[in-house]
Amino acid sequence: MNKRMIRSAGLAALALGTALAAQAQSSVTLYGRVVAGVDYQNNVYDPATGGSGNLWRAVGNQWGTSMLGFKGEEDLGGGLHALFTLESGFSIDDAKFNGAGFFNRRTFVGLRSGWGTLKLGKDLSISDAHWALDPTGQQFIGSATLVRGRNWGGHDNMISYETPSWGGLRVLALTGLGEQPQGASRLRKDALSVSYTAPTFELRAIYDVARDANGRFSDLYTTSRNLTLGGTVTLSALKLFAGYEQLSAPDSAAGVPNKARQYWMGARYKVSGPLTLIGAGYRTTVNNGGGSANLFMAGADYALSKRTLLYASVGNVRNGGNANFSVETTNNNPAPGGSQTGFYVGMAHSF
């Protein structure tokens, strides 16, 4: 066997070994979470009768969303990785999906390298990152309550890019194409997030916009501009949270509320290994006669294991003026200017 043949055989073996090594580094993971509990709200107003009543429910998503997902990654070599995620949210109490379609939370494919991560498909809204600024992690009683769920939702037809961490600094930019021939701005969503994470604190700025079918900002809680600033500080077992959120919908009809501001502060305290206590206060003010509201909550998480926990949260909302915010992120509102108390207890298991 001459030297050229030996060299060719060696290169082929090396290429085969590299391919097999890369294949061995591919992975697909099944993951999920199942959440179930009991929920109570008083003073639920019925506009048809003008009366109010108390509501008991079996629920599945108050502490966090029940979900099922698949995610995978392949090492393409040279520091380049291919990745994908398919994720579905559902309610355990009635076995229904949270929205249209099976994979209704995340469906994307992307590439990751030392230059950052590029993703195409569908993903959660950038505003979902409020969970990092909210002591409740955006439970149904939390930072989403007084903005009627504006922080939730997702981005269809998404293109996103996230930088690598530059000493704790990250930038994420995203657009969700509206896919309307009448104009590129119609139904489009755009967002930008800048975060800085250190061992004992975190700072975050989030800006996202959602446009209606005419490319306008016409509804304060659905198609609007949303700016959030906030941060956290960790002091041993105590973690402190604070945030500010501003919504604006300048194209709303005359006389309709088109600006809202929300402020909050709270804390999480790890009492012992399994027990964490939570407390927070939220305030919103809405212009053009929209009123105001104060929301206070207390809660506890008790870990039975690394994957299973028990939870309990209680809250009270006091509305002023024409405001009728629910104590939870639901449409079970009190009468305008009324107050409401609610709580939920249950368990969550992750896998």
C-alpha span between 182 and 16 (Å, rounded) = 51
**99: amino acid identity, one letter:** G
Please check the confidence at residue 23 and state whether its pLDDT lies above 60. no
Predicted pLDDT of residue 318 = 99
Please report whether residue 14 resides in a domain. Answer: no
Q: Is residue 316 part of a domain?
A: yes
Q: Rounded to whole angstroms, what are the CA distances from 164 to 39, 116, 158, 244? A: 41, 5, 19, 26
The percentage of the chain sitting over the pLDDT mark of 90, rounded to a whole number, equals: 85
Q: What is the CATH number of the domain that holds 266?
A: 2.40.160.10
pLDDT tens, residue by residue, 313-330: 999 999 999 999 999 999
In this predicted structure, which of 19-28, 152-161, 217-226, 311-320 has the lowest mean pLDDT?
Answer: 19-28
Q: Is the pLDDT of residue 3 over 50?
A: no
Residue 16 lies in a domain: no
Give the C-alpha separation, 204 to 170, whole Å. 10
Is residue 128 domain-resident? yes
pLDDT (tens digit, 9 = 90+) per residue, 48-64?
999 999 999 999 899 99
pLDDT at 26: 87
pLDDT of residue 160: 97
Residue range 251-264: mean pLDDT, rounded: 97
Q: Is residue 337 part of a domain?
A: yes
In a domain, 343, yes or no: yes
What is the number of domains present in the chain? 1
Helix segments in the chain, DSSP class H: 3-24
What token pair was written down for 279? 């407390």
Whole-angstrom distance, CA of residue 114 vs CA of residue 119? 15
pLDDT above 70 (res 181): yes
Say yes or no to pLDDT of 15 above 50. no
> Which residue range forms the structural domain that includes residue 91?
28-350
What number of residues does the chain have? 351
121 in a structural domain = yes
CB atoms within 10 A of CB 97: 14
User: Does residue 18 carry a pLDDT above 50?
Assistant: no
Domain assignment present for residue 1? The answer is: no
What ranges make up the beta strands (E) of the chain? Answer: 27-46, 51-59, 66-77, 80-91, 96-97, 106-113, 116-124, 154-162, 169-176, 189-197, 201-210, 225-235, 238-248, 259-270, 275-286, 291-303, 308-320, 339-350
Looking at the predicted structure, is the pLDDT value of residue 9 above 50?
no
Arithmetic mean of pLDDT over the chain = 92
